[in-house]
Amino acid sequence: MKFQDYTYERPNIEKVKNNFNEALEAFKNASKKDAALKAIDTMNQIRFDFSTMSTISNIRHTIDTRDEFYDEEKSFFDQNGPIMSELVNNFYKALLKTPLKETLKENLGDLLFKKAENALKTFDPKIMPLLREENQLASKHQKITASIEIPFKDDTYNLSQMRVFISDKDRAVRKAASKATENVLLTKEEELDQLYDDLVKVRTKIAHELGFDNFIELAYARLGRTDWDKDDVLGYRQQIKDVVVPLNKKLTERKRKRLNLETLYHYDLSLDYLSGNAKPKGDKDHLVTQAKKMYEDISKETDEFFNFMLSRNLMDLEAKKGKAGGGYCTMIPNYESPFIFSNFNGTKGDVDVLTHEAGHAFQMYMSRHHEVPEYRMAGFEVSEIHSMSMEFFAWPYIDLFFEEDSEKYKFSHLSQALMLLSYGASIDEFQHEIYEHPDMTIKERKELWRSIEKTYFPYRIYDDNDYAERGNSWQIIMHIFIVPFYMIDYTLAQVCAFQYFNRSIKDKKEAWQSYVKLCKAGGSRSFTELLDLAELKNPFEKGSLKTIIPSIEDVLNKIDDSKL
């Protein structure tokens, strides 16, 4: 069955509640393990059913945000998602109280109970109206950014499509594209300011209602962080400032020389070479065909996986009007189908989707056998290891996509991976400050962001871009609005992916076997336990970046980028 034929039907919320509660009572009354497990299976299936409809609805909504039917269905799940959260939390309460706890751990593992304990901190029926408000506000950001149309060169483009012009070889085009984007964003500034102000206030209120000092503690609990906290992150961000920021400054100076410019402005940063950035050769269909060849050769597992995706039309790749921005991968439980969403725009990012998002999809495919919903997906910090490492496992095949531009791609890919560490840490520091001081004014937030930018990106010069110079460039970062505190997970995963890159150079087979083992494990272990399983160094460990990053710099130094 192809994705377009997947059945969507709005769940009957009363029926969902009744069936779940009936199974929950059976669980509570179970005196033997088999009866308890049967009741859990029933509740899990109800959760899979609800998640399947929610996911199909969301995919179709993001493919065309103008579709009124799926816009209404998105609102339905924004309203009723908290009801499912309440049902699951009731199950968690019963799970932690059952006298069968120890014997159930033989089948369910210990981590489910830890996750249940953590999740119970994040929910109470009294916050249901606030959760609905938070969902609606977060969804509004996607709607605002997806509706942005930027007039340029006798046509209009969305934010994703404008990236092509902002990396153009002609500096005049880059500057004009940047100015055109700025002009439109200025018209959204106040609306986005107010939206974020509302989000900070409602999230802080939710945290206080649940007994937390601030939203930071609640956000960490929501993200299921069972074995690291904000103190770990504080030390880790300092490592990035000490080790990565100076290296990124050197790489930016190399870029300035390559581009033969006296001063690099913000609109120059997206261009890597005077001869133009690495661009994939061929259209979407060609790139997908090349990806198929690559996954056939990497392993029998990836071959099977990618054919599964192709045969069921489980990818929507091209940018178009009305489509939500960005890219993502998600899982449709009842069909055991990953789905990849992106906005191809003719840049190297198109290939990143076929490796990065495919890495997510491959993990989902490999761990679809887990019967416990909580074990099918790892936390974000591990899930991004799957995606970013797949980008590096694709390196031996990169000429399939870039041909003579392959060296360009590799140098840019590694350089941008290092930049991501600064980018993710800057966003994380911004959010920590915001939610520690939720009464900060809108003006103070902008000043804070600009100050943090100058710490992590001392070479970012905004020329005459008033919008960015006043501290607004965070406004279009989806994660800040929709999944707060997620960005640091990208950086942790990048450090782990660097390790797979280093290992694959030495022993490709060993690195791949470790990676597959990690993917199959899904979320059945905690972050540090999964690192131990894959024999990966913990990025939080003091001095870890000093041991990992130099080998990445060595690879970059072996490439004569002045000739690219």
What is the per-residue pLDDT across 210-239, written as a single tens digit (0 to 9) for each? 999 999 999 999 998 988 999 999 999 999
Stretch 430-447: mean pLDDT, rounded?
97
Amino acid at 349: G
CA angle 81, 22, 18 (to 5 degrees): 45
Q: What is the 3-state secondary structure (H, E, C) of 228-289?
A: CCHHHHHHHHHHHHHHHHHHHHHHHHHHHHHCCCCCCCHHHCCCCCCCCCCCCCCCHHHHHH
Identify the burial level of 351 via C-beta atoms within 10 angstroms of its C-beta, where 0-12 means exposed, 13-18 middle and 19 or more buried.
buried
Contacts by residues 43-51 (CB-CB < 8 Å, ≥ 24 positions apart): 43/91, 44/371, 44/372, 44/373, 46/16, 46/19, 46/20, 47/84, 47/88, 47/373, 48/333, 48/334, 48/373, 49/11, 49/16, 49/334, 50/11, 50/16, 50/84, 51/333, 51/373
> What was the pLDDT predicted at 514?
98
Give the whole-angstrom CA distance, residue 330 versus residue 51.
Answer: 11
Q: How confident is the model at residue 348 (pLDDT cuts 50, 70, 90)?
A: confident
Stretch 325-343: mean pLDDT, rounded?
94
Predicted confidence (pLDDT) at residue 326 exceeds the cutoff of 90:
no
Amino acid at 309: M
Instruction: Give the list of residues 6+ apart from residue 378 with CB closer than 8 angstroms, or none.
Output: 363, 386, 521, 522, 523, 527, 530
Stretch 414-431: mean pLDDT, rounded?
98
Stretch 484-501: mean pLDDT, rounded?
97
Give the whole-angstrom CA distance, residue 49 versus residue 100.
Answer: 27
> What was the pLDDT predicted at 345?
85
Give the whole-angstrom CA distance, residue 14 versus residue 202.
Answer: 27
Q: How confident is the model at residue 146 (pLDDT cuts 50, 70, 90)?
A: confident
Predicted confidence (pLDDT) at residue 160 exceeds the cutoff of 90:
no
Give the whole-angstrom CA distance, residue 340 versus residue 329.
Answer: 5
**Mean pLDDT, the chain, whole residue set:** 95
> What was the pLDDT predicted at 368?
94
Give the whole-angstrom CA distance, residue 257 versus residue 250.
Answer: 11
Predicted TM-score of the model (pTM): 0.90
What is the per-residue pLDDT across 186-206, written as a single tens digit (0 to 9) for each? 999 999 999 999 999 999 999
Predicted confidence (pLDDT) at residue 142 exceeds the cutoff of 90:
no
Share of the chain above pLDDT 70, in %: 100
Predicted confidence (pLDDT) at residue 347 exceeds the cutoff of 90:
no
> What was the pLDDT predicted at 236?
98
> What was the pLDDT predicted at 54?
98
Predicted confidence (pLDDT) at residue 77 exceeds the cutoff of 90:
yes
Three-state secondary-structure class, residue 398: coil
Question: For the chain, how big is the Rg over CA atoms in Å?
Answer: 23
What is the per-residue pLDDT across 23-47, written as a single tens digit (0 to 9) for each? 999 999 999 999 999 999 999 999 9
> What was the pLDDT predicted at 325?
82
What is the per-residue pLDDT across 241-285, written as a single tens digit (0 to 9) for each? 999 999 999 999 999 999 999 999 999 999 999 999 999 999 999
Q: How confident is the model at residue 161 (pLDDT cuts 50, 70, 90)?
A: confident
CA-based diameter of the chain, in Å? Answer: 77
> What was the pLDDT predicted at 416?
95
What is the per-residue pLDDT across 384-407, written as a single tens digit (0 to 9) for each? 999 999 999 999 999 999 999 999
Distance, C-alpha 32 to centroid of its chain: 41
For residue 372, the tally of other CB atoms under 10 A from its CB is 18
Least confident segment among 68-72, 308-312, 321-325, 540-544: 321-325
> What was the pLDDT predicted at 157?
93
What is the per-residue pLDDT across 60-72, written as a single tens digit (0 to 9) for each? 999 999 999 999 9
Contact 52, 4 (CB under 8 A): no
For residue 75, the tally of other CB atoms under 10 A from its CB is 15
Distance, C-alpha 215 to centroid of its chain: 20
Predicted confidence (pLDDT) at residue 330 exceeds the cutoff of 90:
yes
What is the per-residue pLDDT across 450-490, written as a single tens digit (0 to 9) for each? 999 999 999 999 988 999 999 999 999 999 999 999 999 99
Contact 215, 438 (CB under 8 A): yes
Give the whole-angstrom CA distance, residue 374 versus residue 182.
Answer: 42
> What was the pLDDT predicted at 349?
87
> What was the pLDDT predicted at 537?
97
